[in-house]
Structures are given as structure tokens and as C-alpha cells.
Amino acid sequence: MTLDSRSTKRRRVSSSPQTIVILPPGQSRTLDSDNGQQQFTRHADFWLDDGNLILIAGDTAFRVYQGLLKKVSSVFADMFATGSADATETFDGCPVVRLPDHPKDLSDFLQYLMPCSKLTLHDGLPVSDFAELHAAVHLAHKYQCPDVETRALSVLKKFYTPRFTNRSSGPYYTPEGFANRPSMSAAIAAVNIARLTDTPSMLPFALYEACTLEERILDGYERRDGSVEHLAHKDLRLCLRARGELAKQLALFIQDVFRTGPSAECESPPQCSAALNTVCDEVQVDVLGGCRIFDFATDEVSVLLCKECVTWIRLREEVERKTVWDMLPHTFGMTTKECGFTSGDELLQ
């Protein structure tokens, strides 16, 4: 039986003339199919000896519990309840369902339902990379598993966030729940996920991240199967229009941070004033034409300025970043209310 990725409707296929053979992990498959066999490799983790359903994705076989899938997925529940799951293929007495998904994507999705793979932990808490979350959301949406979709989205929203306090930890910040910082191109997939799942709170920062790709935005986001995901035309247009505005905001940001003069408590005003002008000139050259307001760092101020001025500049950076953050929804044609953005005022209290 085959479940087509383009529709959640069931589709009966004719029985294959070939016998399914499922090999243990590590055992090589033969290329010769003249013996009437189709060979697959058993997944190392998602092969439960008492499972009663075989899922095949690519060249990998999974043995899982039919009852669990029926309970959490309305697509699978409907497929079995209507009798459309009458097996045209079986293995070891279990019905076989062929899925068009990438095997790694399927294992990431199943991990949310029956955690059989070893968890990656950080400080005792499970963490995921973007590809795992991307797979979980897409398959949960496709197979109508709202609990899995919600759980994966809750992690994604910690990076593609509406909260300024979540974005004020510097350029190398990795959010809770992530094994590592998402790649820049992941922003393209994040925008598409926000559209797919109607999660507008992810959009402003995800669109901002996509803008910072510059011309690489046209390269898209490469999925595990080698296919490339692109922005919809309306979102690409939003990014192209917003880049100019973000570049202006960055130029104003630099002026407002570094042209304000030394701190009132400055230990050596002439030296710090000259250093601030030097840093401002250098930063303006470095970011010329760019729009990365939330991620660039001015580490040299810690060396060139007195302690009081360093503290002053860091505060100015946060205040001005907050100002730009508050404008992000408007920059991309949204309101603060519709995307749930917080003002960031709590940072200053």
C-alpha cells in the first residue's frame, strides 16, 4: 500500500510481484532483483519486534505500532478505519505501507511518538537541530498529528521568536531546545513553516533572517533529499522590499550608538571620544549595504574604551536594537498585534 505525499486520500495499488526482504542494519543489499526480491534495510532504532505495521520510506523499513499511529494521526486512523489498509503487501504477517518521505525525516517524526533513538541532551534537556524540527513539523502537518506539530513548533519559536529578550544574547546565541544555531538558509524554511502552520509570530524574525542572506536568498534551503525549498513569491518580494529599509535602520543604529559621545562617567573623555569615532567609521565600512542589526558584534570597544564607556555603549546597543525590533512587524507589512511581538520594555525595567 502506498500513501502519496501529494494527498491524504488513500490509494490502493496492485500487489508487487516481488517478495519483500528486510535486512538487518549493516548488511549489504544486492543489486540483482532477478530473484524476485525487493530488499530494504531495517531501521536501527525504529524496529519493534512486537510491532504490527511496517512502514517503508526510501530503502529503510520501520516496524511500529498501528494502534499508536491511529491514535495520534487522523490520516492513519482514517486509512485503517475505512478498510483501505487491507494489505496488498505484507511482511512477517504485518501490513506494509510505503511512504514517499525521506527515511531520516520519518525517523525524526516517529521519535516524537515513540522515542526509540538516543536523545541528544544539553544540560540534561533534549535538543534538536533545525532539520529534525523541519521534518517533524512537515510530517506532523501532512499526517495530521497536531500534538507533534505543536511540540516541534514550540522549539522553533524559541529562535524565530516574537520576544526581544530572546534575541538579546549576542550573535552566537543558541536558543533552548536547539543543538546548534540554525543556518542562515534555514530562515527560508522557517518562513514557509510559519505560513504552512499559520504561525505569524515566527514571521518577522524569520523574514529578517532571510533578508540577511542577500543574493543567496535565491539559492533556497536544501532538504535532506536534495530538493530545494524556496520562498513563495510574495515573501521573496517582502524581503527584497525590506532590505533597503533594514539597511537604513542599520545606518541609523550605528550613528545613534557611536555618535552619542562618551559616558557621563567616562574616565578619559578625549581618548574615548576619538575611539568612538574610529569605531563608528570602521563599523560603517564593515556593514556597508548590509542589514544584520541583531547579530553583528563590536568587540573592539572592550579594548579601546574605558570600563564606563563600554557599559554605556552596550546599553545603547540594546536600546537601539529594541527600537529596530519594535519596527520589524511593520517593516514586513504586519502589525505587532497579529504577530504577537513584545515591546522589549521589560529589558529596561
pLDDT in tens, 137-177: 999 999 999 999 999 999 999 999 998 875 655 556 777 88
Determine the Cα–Cα distance for residues 164 and 347; give it in Å rounded to an integer. 8
Q: Assign 93 to helix, strand or coil.
A: coil
Residues 6+ apart with CB under 8 A from 336: 326, 329, 330, 343
Could you list the beta-strand ranges (E) of the chain: 19-23, 37-47, 53-57, 60-64, 90-91, 94-99, 121-122, 125-126, 221-222, 228-229
Stretch among 21-30, 83-92, 126-135, 230-239 having the lowest mean pLDDT: 83-92
Determine the Cα–Cα distance for residues 248 and 251; give it in Å rounded to an integer. 5
What is the pLDDT at residue 349?
Answer: 38
Determine the Cα–Cα distance for residues 133 and 65; give it in Å rounded to an integer. 22
Determine the Cα–Cα distance for residues 161 and 163; give it in Å rounded to an integer. 5
What is the pLDDT at residue 287?
Answer: 83
What is the pLDDT at residue 6?
Answer: 41
Determine the Cα–Cα distance for residues 254 and 278; give it in Å rounded to an integer. 12
Amino acid identity of residue 140, one-letter, is: A
Residue scoring higher pLDDT (229 or 10): 229
What is the pLDDT at residue 1?
Answer: 62
Given pLDDT bands bounded at 50, 70 and 90, which one contains residue 244?
A: very high
**This prediction's pTM:** 0.87
Q: Is the pLDDT score of 308 beyond 50?
A: yes
User: Cell 538487518 belongs to which residue?
Assistant: 24
pLDDT digits (tens, 9 = 90+) for 259-304: 888 999 999 999 999 999 998 998 888 888 788 888 766 676 778 8
pLDDT digits (tens, 9 = 90+) for 247-264: 999 999 999 999 888 999
